[in-house]
Structure 1
Amino acid sequence: MNKRKYLLMVTVIGALGGLLFGYDTAVISGAIGFLETKFGLDANLKGWAVSSAILGCIIGVAVAGITADRIGRKKTLLITAFLFAASALGSAIANDFTFFVIARIIGGVGVGAASMLSPLYISEIAPAHKRGTLVSFYQLAIVFGINIVFFFNYKVANFGTEQWNIDTGWRYMLGSELVPALLFFIALFFVPESPRWLSKEGRDEEALGILRSVNTEEKAKEVHKEIKEALNQEKGTLMELFAPGLRRALIVGMFLALFSQITGINAIMYYAPEILKSAGFGVDSALMQTVIIGIINTIFTFIAINYIDKAGRRALLLWGVSGMILCLFGIGLLYQFNLTSGPWLLVLILGFVACFASSLGPIPWVLIAEIFPTKTRGIAMSFSIVILWIGVMLISQFTPVLLEMGESFTFWIFMVNAIILLIFTYKMIPETKGKTLEEIEQMWKK
């Protein structure tokens, strides 16, 4: 197999963690209405049905960084695949709400761990000039996972009556995740360990062999030399990240992680059918339009993949977040003046998703995976992505409550958050395209 095909295969398998991330977090959107009736949930319990998995995500991220630094990226990813499968089976057979929540938390641990490990793994194997594009495949995989499950939910919901969906349909929706989980588990046996982790463990020949498989001989030796020099300069302690220079990297990682979630994307992804139904769309129409949302998400993620190593991370963020602000303002206006019955609500939601998918969707994963030192990258990414999942949990738990307080109010809160992110991006985030991971580390120290 030539270098290009091998690199693509490793990237695709690594990115399957993202597909399961998207699948697991979006599968609940089609099932939540039926679960609400099945278990008699109020607004708070409805939020808990969605956000319970996010609690698991926070736990998963918190332990994944330490585990990945100790036993390796690949072995830890295998554990996440097993957790995905166990959760899919458990949530599908649940007969009471408590059992359902426990199964969702188990799946959340897998999602959280994969959300850190998959982009980390890809970034540590990818050549510098392709890293942005290849790590963006992780976001593309998330989008594909969301699309697949939106379409599957739509088909299941239309297979039987409303009562059949309340009794049985949601079980098929949640249990279907078992298929991609098993695929991910098997595929991981065909990829290597991270060369940077192997170098950290002193297994230099193995590391150099993997670098040769994706680079020329000369480049592989050059990159390996940079890795060893960077490792020799690092103590590998968490306090290193709070030193001047690298402290800014930690702030950037944590801020991007939080604001990628509290600007509204998960409110739309988790509650799109409920939002559209509240605007006057029928159940069938609302579920079909979530499929359209998924398609737009996919198309514009491809645009990000095409331009992230050309235009750069910072430029895409500035343009994309500006577009999100305009769309959120418009959505708030439509609700404020009760103009949601026409096509404009869907148009602005699609515009928001397009702007997010081409910027704030993939870029935080790319930046968080590339801005930290090798010895502490696992635990540093855990720090940032714990913050990300706290943001997801807050949005998941409180969106139903916010929507009851008023749709305009809800979307304008997201707009204010997006304005804060735009200012932060302009002031604080440097351009990292084309630089090796070791060059980025030195850039912060300078």
Structure 2
Amino acid sequence: MHGLIPQASPSTHTDELRMGYVWWIAIAAALGGLLFGYDWVVIGGAREFYEIYFHLTSSSLIGWANSCALLGCLVGSLLSGALTERCGRRPLLLASAVLFGVSSALTGLAHSFEAFIVWRIVGGVAIGLSSNVSPMYIAEISPAAVRGRLVTLNQFAIVVGILIAQIANLLIAHPVPVGLSAEQLLTTWNVQWGWRWMFIAIVLPSIIFTVCTLFLPESPRWLLKRGYTDRARKTLTRIGGTAYAEAEISAIAKSVQSLEAERSSWFELFKPGVRKALWIAVALAVLQQWTGINILFNYAAEIYRRAGYGNSSEILLNIVITGAINLLFTVLAMFLVDTVGRRKLMLAGCTGIAASHLLCALAYRQAWPSALVLGLTLSAIACYAATLAPVTWVLIAEVFPNRVRASGVSVSVSALWIASFVLTYTFPLINAEVGMSGTFVLYGAICLMGFFLVNFGLTETKGRSLEEM
């Protein structure tokens, strides 16, 4: 790399980009997001059945069953930083694919609450790995002009996985007559077998992800950092031709060379310049979770039941509608992120979610019609899907310098999973104390604070190469 002649910016050599190949790479890597979305949300439809099976009655046990996977997410996220630097991006994608399949199958086969918890945590490790590596890998292999759209593809895959899980829950669950006793409910098909198949259904897409990962190239930026210039050149040439490859190699090499005297370590994250990037990435990660949107997925059945929906089939159908809205507005985000820009979308998202939550709180307090509550939750999900959900992942993947990107993404996503654990575990406790109305007021207030965080702390990054930033 030391002997390379500086070339023009990669952005000047985009005429020969082979977007079909680039999209194939991004789609294959984003399958990790699809499994992430399915595994994360399937519990929303399964919980009312496995809670009966395992005799879960206290708020703390219910919260633990719903949030335990997040401990695995945290472990996977922390491990991914060091492992992606040592082993590369592709091996970690492969490891997450295998873990998804194994953990889902064994969660569905669990006959004790302890075994259920263990395999949910293992599944969380898979989520933690893929949530770090998939967006980072896509960001590192994507041309700057389309990087936002391609990284957003990972979020699109997540919401597709969410919708598939919700549809699977609806199709797998059998109608249950109203008014059954606890003993009668325990013997129903949903309680004995239905929730198991909801988890096991993810095994097939896990196998597909495993096979696709075997054909992915390694990240050119990781290869160049390790001195594998020829392998990096081969991948970049296949993406955009010879001129693009040489320009990319030159830009990456200069970035690496200017910093090669500084050994990359966790302590570099706290150096001036990088420290600001870490602060904003962690703050955005926490904000994305504490908007409370994941509560609308993980505790959807309880939220809609409190709003007046009583039939299980009706509730599951409402949950599918939330997934469809989530998908629709994520598609919209893919077209907006590289045109409108990251900062404007984040500001709009905070405003829209806050308004939806505060109106939803009023709806619960004033006992408005249940259909109106459904509409307000759909409004919040739409705002989230078009803004904070995808844009936060894009920003986390692109704000860090090359030398500390893996560790920076690892810390940021770890903060995201800690925030998600706190959110998911505390919802039953907060709801018991202040009710549904008070809970939505809290989440709305957090969104308003997030508006000021984004307004004063975030600068625009669209259209800039990773090396420029």
- TM-score higher than 0.5 here? yes
Deviation at 1:177, TM superposition (A): 1.2
Q: Distance in 1 between matches of 2:300 and 2:432?
A: 15
1:184-333 maps to which residues of 2 (within 5 A)? 184-234=209-259, 235=262, 236-281=264-309, 282-333=311-362
Helix, strand or coil: the match of 2:360? helix
Shift of 1:233: 2.2
Could you report, residue by residue, the CA deviation over 1:302-327 in whole angstroms, capped at 9, with x for unpaired residues?
A: 11100100110001111121111100
- Residue 247 of structure 1 and its aligned partner are, at CA, apart by 1.1
Q: Is contact 2:175-2:312 (8 Å) kept?
A: no
Q: 1:233 & 1:326 partners in 2: Cα distance? A: 47
Question: How far apart, CA to CA, are the structure 2 residues paired with 1:179 and 1:375?
Answer: 36
Q: In the alignment, what sits opposite 2:171?
A: 155
Mapping of residues 27-426 of structure 1, within 5 Å: 27-41=42-56, 42-158=58-174, 163-234=188-259, 235=262, 236-281=264-309, 282-339=311-368, 341-405=369-433, 406-426=435-455
Quote the residue 2:3 is aligned against.
none
Which residue pairs with 2:18 in the alignment?
3
**How far 1:241 moved relative to its partner?**
2.1
CA distance in 1, matches of 2:240, 2:450: 36
* Structure 1 unpaired stretches of 5+: 441-446
Q: Deviations over 1:46-88 (max 9, x none)?
A: 1111111111000000001110100000011111111111111
| Residue type of the alignment partner of 2:290 | I
* Shift in Å, 1:246: 1.6
Q: Does structure 1 retain, via aligned residues, the 8 Å contact 2:284–2:392?
A: yes
Q: Which residue of 2 aligns with 1:443?
A: none
Contact 2:307 2:370 in 1 (8 A): no
Name the amino acid aligned to 2:64: W
Q: How far apart, CA to CA, are the structure 2 residues paired with 1:321 and 1:411? A: 14
Q: Please give the secondary structure, in 1, of the residue aligned with 2:95.
A: helix
Q: Alpha-carbon deviation of 1:220?
A: 2.0
Secondary structure class of the residue paired with 1:439: coil
Secondary structure of the equivalent of 1:433?
coil
Conserved in 1, the CA contact under 8 Å of 2:17 and 2:240? no
Q: Deviations over 1:225-273 (max 9, x none)?
A: 1111111222222222212222110011100111100111111110111
**Distance in 2 (alpha carbons) for counterparts of 1:278 and 1:167:** 26
One-letter amino acid matched to 2:350: V
Task: Indicate the larger mover: 317-326 or 352-361.
Answer: 317-326
Amino acid paired to 2:277: A
Query: After superposition, what is the alpha-carbon deviation per residue over 1:158-197, rounded to whole angstroms, capped at 9, x for unaligned?
Result: 3677511011100000111111111111110111000000
Gapped regions of structure 2 (runs ≥ 5): 1-15, 178-184
Q: Which one-letter code corresponds to 2:466 in the other structure?
A: L
RMSD over aligned Cα atoms: 1.3
Q: Which structure has the bigger radius of gyration?
A: 2
Report the TM-score when normalising by structure 2.
Answer: 0.92
Paired-residue identity, %: 38
Deviations 1:94-126 (A, max 9, x none): 001000000100000000110000000000000
Cα distance in 2 for residues equivalent to 1:342 and 1:283: 15
Rounded to whole Å, the distance in 2 between the matches of 1:274 and 1:380 is 36
TM-score (norm 1): 0.96
**Counterpart in the other structure of 1:444:** none
> What SS class does the counterpart of residue 289 from structure 2 fall into?
coil
Structure 1: how far apart are the matches of 2:352 and 2:419?
21
- Check conservation: 2:176, 2:312, Cα contact below 8 A: no
